[in-house]
Structure 1
Amino acid sequence: MTVVSARSRCRAGISKLAALLALAAAATSSMAADLTVVGFGGALQEAFRSAYFEPFRKQGGIALVEDSYPGGYARQKAMVETGNVTWDLVQMDENEMASACEQGLLEPIDRKQFAKAQDINPAAFAKCGVGAFVWSKVLAYDGRKFGDNGPRTWAEFWDTRRWPGKRGLRKQPRMTLEIALLADGVPAADVYKVLATKAGQDRAFAKLDQLRPSIVWWESGAQPLEWLESGTLAATAAYSGRIASANQQGKQFRFSWDGQLYSMDYWTIVKGSPHRQQAHALLDSMFDAQRQVAFAQAIPYGVTNTRAAAAMPEALRPLLPTSPQNLRNALLLDTAFWVDHEEELLQRFTRWVSQR
């Protein structure tokens, strides 16, 4: 009797375990069936959600889940190499997209596959990506501290006597070395010619040496504005769209377009994505002019749809990095330069930072 009862309990336990495993497998299968879209998080992802993801969910009825990451392509590389691709549509900056494309980690993009492609600026299409938006890094400062009389140029950013306080810069050589050369008087048109030389690189690091005691390094786009608000920073390099969004919520950040650094971020599809068809459908919906206007209203960045750019509300135009008046003295990020030089300059930059 005891033996029978023990066997019965054992069989019951095995049945329960099998049921749980079946439920887990079903859940995993259900998750795998969802289109996964990955962005950089924060205010930017909130803008994606309101302008693109939610309308797509409601209109198409396609299951869509979101994820976020800080950039790079290590995760995509691991997924492709193991054959376990769980991300589908991923936001990437241009130089990382180019490197990942060269390594075969991304699906090629064919503009003929998109019904609304005719409205998109042809320059937005790359071999392995399509432009999501044009972003900008600008000089920002605390309006409570300096009013309307804060630093307006990168040269003034270096002047901690006239405008005392800590300075925020992103902890990476890309865009930081360019800012240093702009601050040292190199015209925007000549920055990459200078930076391509050993003497130019030495010049950039020498300029950073001057500011070293005042630098606070940030690593995510939300940090510099949080630190401006808290008083940790008096001035910082920051993303223009995040600043404009924060000011819409009552913050008092001032910023200058003089010497802005701008580039395009891209949507990419991970090689071997099981949901390429759904990813294409989402991209095509993102090409819609009204949705791109809604995106720029949520976070003021440049858009890729030419009709959307023409239909942009007048009040919003001065906040866009692509507005003609904001492109004076602007520096377009040179992706080819960084694909060729990032490894060596990153090593030098890392050593320099560690010497503090």
Structure 2
Amino acid sequence: MSSQEQGLAPCRKTLSRRAILLAGLGGLLPGTAMAAHTRKQTRTDKSLHILTFTGSIAQTQSKILFKPYEHLTHQSIVPRGWSGELPELQHLTNPSHQHPAAAMMENSSLRIGCALKLLSRHQTDTSSSNCGLPSASIDYAMAWDKARFESTPSWFDFWDVARHPGRRSLRRDPRMTLEIALLADGVPANALYRTLGTTEGVNRAFLKLEQLRPYIAWWSTPGEAGQILTSGGALMGCVPTGEILGAADAIRQRFGLYWQQRFVVQYGWGVLASAASNPAALAFVSWLEQAAQQQAFANAWPSLPSMAELNALAPGLAHIPPAITIDDTFWENNLSALNERFQQWMRRT
């Protein structure tokens, strides 16, 4: 099920420190009391520096989330782009108003960051989501230059450089990249994590990647994934569907999207440990986790085409099959070891 099909995630039943904070702030909902509170605090509030992803995601967030929040609370939000990699947070441990207070990242990174004490977790937060809740779903799919293909390619065709010469773009991270390699090697979608959970399966994924190594253009952020394709840096590649569907008509018509085996990645917001005592950071992240904000972003972010567009993009496809969900629990438990092997593999000549 895609981000637009899934709807809202179930609300957390346990009372977290963010829920407690929201209760104290009136839930950050419009109202006379809240407005009076925010006006009173305006003079002393500082800008809230945050980390998010560059590209269309940040543009959508700015319009749908950040600007409305600023209007509601009179709290200035200052976003900055980042890669989403946890080592980057390790350099941001000293408290400072110029350092980011919150960051958008994958759910597996949220959990790992919490365990490493890079992110804030209050003693009353007993939820399994650790330091944050899922607040956005992003679909990823293979996109290709339609001028170079007579029919819709698959992940198997993605590896066929003899028939389709040119560069391919993939994520510089084992997450989603190893899953794609296994799909291309014939592993069914419902067996991906069962296969990756074995030594033989991991070896199989890396052997498949090795076949494609000279042809890969690597990307680190969702925005970079879109930029590589639209600039002609790759013939085909893995990209957030919204980077194509939300682009100008010329780009949208230029690229096809492979809907049959796409992925959905869950993202959330974490409060950095250095901002644990900053009520503005806690309030901002709590607001983003509310169902209304989740739905607002899902409505604004173009993950799926209309049926008319789908028929034009992929004739004969009667319906869009459910997306493959990236398994956050698997990656929480295995990212450290698999990323070490991935980085070693990347450094090989």
Same fold at TM > 0.5:
yes
CA contact (8 A) 1:244 1:299 kept: no
> What do residues 161-193 of structure 1 show as CA deviations (whole Å, max 9, x unaligned)?
333322111122221111111111111111111
Whether contact under 8 Å (2:155, 2:184) holds in the other structure is: yes
Which letter maps to 2:230? E
Q: What are the equivalent positions in structure 2 for 1:261-272 lying under 5 Å apart?
A: 261-272=263-274
Q: Structure 1 length normalisation: TM-score?
A: 0.72
1:274 offset after TM fit, Å? 6.5
Identify the match of residue 82 of structure 2 among 42, 65, 69: 69
**How far does the alpha carbon of each residue in 1:294-318 deviate from its partner, in whole angstroms, 9 at most, with x for none?**
433542259xxxxxxxxxx977997
Instruction: Pick from 50, 53, 58 the counterpart of residue 66 of structure 2.
Output: 53
Seen in structure 2, the aligned counterparts of structure 1 residues 127 and 224 have a Cα distance that, compared at 3 Å, is closer
Q: 1:221-242: CA deviations, max 9, x gaps? A: 2333333233331111111222
Cα distance change of structure 1 residues 248 and 133 upon mapping to structure 2, 3 Å threshold:
farther
Q: 1:61-140 alignment to 2 at 5 Å? A: 61-80=74-93, 82-84=94-96, 86-108=99-121, 126-140=129-143
Partner AA of 2:337 in structure 1: E
> SS in structure 2 opposite 1:97?
helix
Q: 1:8-60 CA deviation, whole Å, 9 max, x = no partner?
A: xxxxxxxxxxxxxxxxxxxxxx9982222221122111111100111111222
Shift of residue 74, structure 1, vs aligned partner: 3.2
The Cα shift of 1:194 comes to 1.1
Against the structure 1 CA distance between its residues 64 and 353, is the aligned structure 2 distance closer, same or farther, given a 3 Å change threshold? closer
Whole-angstrom distance in 2 between the partners of 1:271 and 1:160: 46
What secondary structure, in the 3-state scheme, does the structure 1 residue paired with 2:202 have?
helix
Q: Distance in 2 between matches of 1:141 and 1:194?
A: 27
Structure 2 residue matching 1:66: 3-state secondary structure: strand
> Could you tell me how far apart the structure 2 residues matched to 1:352 and 1:254 are?
31
* Matched ranges for 1:207-286 at <5 A: 207-247=208-248, 250-251=251-252, 252-273=254-275, 276-283=278-285, 285-286=287-288
Whether the aligned pair in 2 keeps the contact of 1:142 and 1:229 (CA below 8 Å) is no
Structure 1 CA distance for aligned equivalents of residues 250 and 270 of structure 2: 31
Q: Distance in 2 between matches of 1:181 and 1:263?
A: 18
Structure 1: give runs of 5+ residues left out of the alignment: 1-29, 113-122, 303-312, 319-324
The 8 Å contact of residues 143 and 257 in structure 2, kept in 1 or not, is answered as yes
Q: Which amino acid aligns with 2:137?
A: V
- Answer yes or no: is 1:350 the counterpart of 2:310: no
- Contact 2:136–2:297 (CA<8 Å) still a contact in 1? no
Structure of higher RCO (CA pairs closer than 8 Å, 6+ residues apart):
2
Contact 1:260 1:331 in 2 (8 A): yes
Alignment partners' CA distance in 2, 1:200 and 1:212 = 18
Query: How far has the Cα of 1:272 moved from its partner?
Result: 4.0
SS at match of 2:334: helix
Answer whether contact 2:55 2:224 (CA < 8 A) is retained: no
Percent identical among aligned pairs is 29
| CA gap 1:287/1:336 in 2 versus in 1, 3 angstroms | closer
Inter-CA distance 103–292: structure 2 relative to 1 (3 Å threshold): closer
Which SS does the other structure have where 2:133 is aligned? strand
Could you list the structure 1 runs, at least 4 aligned residues long, displaced by more than 6 angstroms after superposition: 109-112, 313-318
Q: Name the structure 2 match of 1:181.
A: 182
Equivalent in the alignment of 2:333: 340
> Quick one: distance in 1 between partners of 2:287 and 2:347?
46
Does 248-257 or 135-144 show the bigger shift? 248-257
Amino acid at match of 1:155: F
* 1:300 corresponds to: 302
Amino acid at match of 1:56: Y
Give the aligned residue type for 1:352: W
The alpha-carbon distance between structure 1 residues 269 and 317, as it changes in their structure 2 partners (threshold 3 A), is farther
Q: TM-score, normalised by structure 2?
A: 0.73
Name the structure 1 match of 2:27: none
What's the counterpart of residue 190 of structure 1?
191
CA deviation digits over 1:197-234, x for unaligned, max 9?
Answer: 11111211221222233222222323333332333311
Which secondary structure state, in structure 2, belongs to the residue aligned with residue 246 of structure 1? coil
